[in-house]
Chains A and B, each alone.
Chain A
Amino acid sequence: MSTVGDEKLRISDLHAFYGESHILHGIDMTVMQGELVTLLGRNGAGRSTTLRSIMNMVGKRTGSININGRETIDMPAHKIAHLGMGFCPEERAIFSSLNVEENLMLPPAVRSDGMSVEEIYEMFPNLYERRMSQGTRLSGGEQQMLALARILRTGANILLLDEITEGLAPVIVKTLGEVLLKLKERGLTILLVEQNFRFAAPIADRHYVMEHGHIVEEVHAHELEAKAEMLNTYLGV
Chain B
Amino acid sequence: MATFLGINLFGLFGQLLVGLINGSFYALLSLGLAIIFGLLKIINFAQGAMYMLGAFFAWMALHYMGINYWAALIVVPLAVGFIGVMMERYLLRPIANEDHLYSLLLTFGIALILQGAFTHMFGSSGMSYAIPEELKGGNRLPFMYLPNYRAWIIVASLIVCAGTWYMIEKTKLGAYLRAGTENPSMMQAFGINVPLIVTLTFGFGVGLAGFAGVMAAPVYSVSPDMGSNMLIVVFAIVVIGGMGSIGGAILTGLGMGVVEGLTKYFYPEASTTVIFAVMVIVLLTKPAGLFGKEA
Contact = CB atoms under 8 A, between A and B. Distances in A.
Contact of B179 (A79, A89, A106): A106
A9 to B, nearest CB: 15
Q: Which of A56, A82, A95 has the most CB of B within 10 A?
A: A95
Contacts of B189: 55, 57, 77, 80-81, 87, 89
A45 B211 CA distance: 54
Interface string A85-129: 001010001011110001001111010000000000000000000
Contact of B182 (A77, A97, A110): A97
A108 B186 contact: no
B181 interface: yes
B182 A107 contact: no
A106 B182 CA distance: 13
A55 B188 CA distance: 9
Q: Which of A56, A106, A110 has the most CB of B within 10 A?
A: A106
Given A105-B172, A106-B176, A95 B182 contact: yes
Contact of B194 (A78, A79, A89, A105): A78
Given A78-B193, A110-B191, A95 B185 contact: no
A81 B190 contact: yes
Contact of A107 (B178, B190, B193, B194): B190
Given A98-B175, A102-B175, A108 B192 contact: yes
A108 B188 contact: no
Mostly helix, strand, loop or mixed at chain B's interface?
Answer: helix
A95 B179 contact: yes
Interface in A116-171: 154
Mostly helix, strand, loop or mixed at chain A's interface?
Answer: loop
B229 interface: no
Q: Which of A55, A78, A82, A96 has the most CB of B within 10 A?
A: A78
Contacts of B179: 95, 97-98, 106
Contacts of A79: 191
Interface in B178-235: 178-179, 181-183, 185-194
Contacts of A106: 175-176, 179, 190
Interface string A39-83: 000000000000000011100000000000000000011111110
Interface of A: 55-57, 76-82, 87, 89, 93, 95-98, 102, 105-108, 110, 154
A-B pairs with lowest CB-CB distance, top 9: A81-B191, A107-B190, A77-B188, A97-B178, A93-B186, A78-B193, A95-B179, A78-B188, A87-B189
12 contacts: A56-B188, A77-B188, A78-B192, A87-B190, A89-B186, A93-B183, A98-B179, A105-B175, A106-B176, A106-B190, A107-B191, A110-B191
